[in-house]
Amino acid sequence: METGFLPRGRFQGLLDALHRAGYRCFGPQVRDGAIVYAAVSASEDLPQGMRDHQSPGYYRLERTSSLRYFGWANGPQALKPLVFAPHEVLWRARRLPDGGIEFSTEPPSTDKLAVIGVRACDLAALALQDRHFLAAPQSDPHYAARRARLFVVAVHCSDPSDTCFCVSTGDGPQASAGFDLALSELDDGFLVESGTALGAGVAAALELEVVSAEARAAAARQIEAARERQHRRLPSRNLRAALFANLEHPRWEDVAGRCLACGNCTSVCPTCFCHAGIESPGLSGETSMHARAWDSCFTQGHSYINSVTVRSDTRARYRQWLTHKLGSWHEQFGRSGCVGCGRCISWCPVGIDITEEAGAVCAGAADE
């Protein structure tokens, strides 16, 4: 619901309102040459004037004279590290004097956290991770705790990068659901929409101005331009049948020759959820710590079962990634596992492009 216009000079008011409502704020910042989420307290912390240049295996930032805070597409992270931690201790065990074992869990912090600058694709990915981690009957308590504390301030995309293809997956560039507040950034300020009662409450504290017809039209034009700027495509149809009909396609061998099996793609992918359990006993042998860490279908351990590695070569591993993400994901979640964020393309050290590989394997195959 449209609630009003926040002039650029008063953006700090949004951060202050969130702080007053008890939230710690996370927002985009430039770190080590990329845009990442980190704690922000003042609007000066935001990447004003920054824009990103992304292409397969390539990411660079450029400082421009633009006043905008959100004139870039994305960085290597989505919301994933904030809800599905890359590494977290799930429980500790201790041997008791009577021979028993005592377990204790380590619940994550439930401090309220507002994340600013979330993209449409990130929200679509969050919805998928929610389904994976929260669906009954085995809802994951660690994910649930991190998720429940989130307040999401989305920003509709005005500047997709060369690697973005959310239009073809139907997930962007405009955020349509899953946010508490959503912003359209214009040169002189922000159109503010609320998506939840919580968001409306924060917006009410901002003393927003009435939105002019020109501002509304400019925001709509901006989204349209962002849509048109995208040129990469993933067929939006269900590729399940096409992929599984092509398990012996020569392209798998071809991509295996180029792929490092490094797991960067799955790590930056906001929907990938595979993890490994890591047991670290203390030297004394009296205590142990059990952690969960991001794993990937590109590691050997991922398919290691009872002394056999099921997918020992890269051909099988790459095929697993693509046939799950774009194929069997449909059976599991009712949609593909790709939200078109393009991260796996940019952050692949050798620039392998999922849209190209899927296109090559599925070319000519019948639709489902």
Which residue ranges make up the site for ligand SF4 (CB under 6 A)?
259-265, 268-271, 298, 325, 338-344, 348-350, 352, 354
Which partner in other proteins, ligand SF4, none is near 342 (CB below 5 to 8 A by kind)? ligand SF4
For ligand SF4, give the closer residue by CB, 5 or 252. 252
For ligand SF4, give the closer residue by CB, 149 or 317. 317
Q: Does 108 bind other proteins (CB under 8 A)?
A: no
What's the token pair of residue 278? Answer: 């890591």
Q: Does 268 bind other proteins (CB under 8 A)?
A: yes
The verdict on whether omega for the bond into residue 173 sits within 30 degrees of 0, i.e. cis, is: yes
Q: Does 94 bind other proteins (CB under 8 A)?
A: no
Residue 295: CB minimum distance to other proteins, A: 8
Distance separating the N- and C-terminal Cα atoms of the chain: 37
Helix axes 197-204, 11-20, angle to 10 degrees: 120
- Please state, in angstroms and as integers, the Cα–Cα distance from residue 122 to each residue in 118, 172, 329, 365, following that order: 6, 9, 18, 30
Q: Which of 4, 21, 24, 36 binds other proteins (CB under 8 A)?
A: 36
Handedness of CA 63, 64, 67, 69 (dihedral sign): negative
Residue 260: CB minimum distance to ligand SF4, A: 4
Query: Do 355 and 234 touch, CB atoms closer than 8 A?
Result: yes
What's the token pair of residue 169? Answer: 């997956």
Element (H, E) at 122: helix 120-134
Q: Which of 9, 86, 107, 277 binds other proteins (CB under 8 A)?
A: 86
Which partner in other proteins, ligand SF4, none is near 59 (CB below 5 to 8 A by kind)? other proteins
Which partner in ligand SF4, other proteins, none is near 354 (CB below 5 to 8 A by kind)? ligand SF4
What's the token pair of residue 293? Answer: 């860490």
Residue 221: CB minimum distance to ligand SF4, A: 26
Query: Do 199 and 171 touch, CB atoms closer than 8 A?
Result: no
3-state class (DSSP) for residue 277: strand
Q: Does 13 bind other proteins (CB under 8 A)?
A: no
What's the token pair of residue 155? Answer: 């920003």
Which partner in other proteins, ligand SF4, none is near 271 (CB below 5 to 8 A by kind)? ligand SF4
For ligand SF4, give the closer residue by CB, 195 or 337. 337
Q: Taking phi first (over 0 means left), then psi (-120 to 50 degrees means alpha), and beta for anything else, what does residue 99 get?
A: left
Residue 323: CB minimum distance to ligand SF4, A: 13
Number of residues that bind other proteins (CB under 8 A): 45
Backbone angles phi, psi at 309, to 5 degrees: -95, 110
Query: Do 320 and 310 touch, CB atoms closer than 8 A?
Result: no
Q: Does 347 bind other proteins (CB under 8 A)?
A: yes
- Please state, in angstroms and as integers, the Cα–Cα distance from residue 131 to each residue in 76, 110, 126, 253, following that order: 22, 20, 9, 33
Backbone angles phi, psi at 116, to 5 degrees: -110, 135
Which partner in ligand SF4, other proteins, none is near 107 (CB below 5 to 8 A by kind)? none
Q: Does 299 bind other proteins (CB under 8 A)?
A: yes
3-state class (DSSP) for residue 229: helix
Q: Which of 11, 59, 133, 318 binds other proteins (CB under 8 A)?
A: 59
What's the token pair of residue 116? Answer: 């600013």
Q: Which of 158, 238, 346, 355 binds other proteins (CB under 8 A)?
A: 346
Which residues contribute to the site for other proteins (CB under 8 A)? 31-34, 36, 57-60, 76-77, 81, 86-87, 257-264, 267-268, 280-285, 293-296, 299-301, 312-314, 346-350
